[in-house]
Amino acid sequence: MDKMHLARMQFYGNHGLFPEENKLGQRFYVDLTLSLDLSEAGRTDEIGTTVNYAELYERVKQIVEGRTFRLIEALAENIASDVLHQYTNVNDVTVRVIKPHPPFDIHFDGVTVEIVRKRESL
């Protein structure tokens, strides 16, 4: 199966358990990997035979910036569900949500959640 990757999309969201996170917000990164057949797009050079990644970026932006989730797991699940419902040519999607600066008094390079959802599980 072919793959399409959208790497390190950057958004500003208000996700987290703490009231300060919901009020102040912070930066989030989202990576997507879509599994789909890209052979027709390669042969025809037509956008209608693939996923328009500019449109997909806007859909993800609406989810990340337009809603508030307590858990980045829920954010990832909502993105995966939207992708599989909107793009019927996608067989499965991997969603990685990165919270680079969690509000804890510990030092590490962020928290990442990665989920894989398949069309047959809909």
Question: Which residues are catalytically annotated?
Answer: 99
Q: 102: how many CB neighbours lie within 10 A of its CB?
A: 15
Rounded to 5 degrees, what are φ and ψ at 27? -80, 145
Q: Which of 4, 3, 6, 15 is nearest to 72 (CA)?
A: 15
CA distance 112 to 95: 10
The separation between the first and the last C-alpha atoms of the chain, rounded to the nearest angstrom, is 19
Instruction: Characterize the bridge pairing of strands 90-99 and 111-118.
Output: antiparallel
Tokens 């990340």 appear where? 64
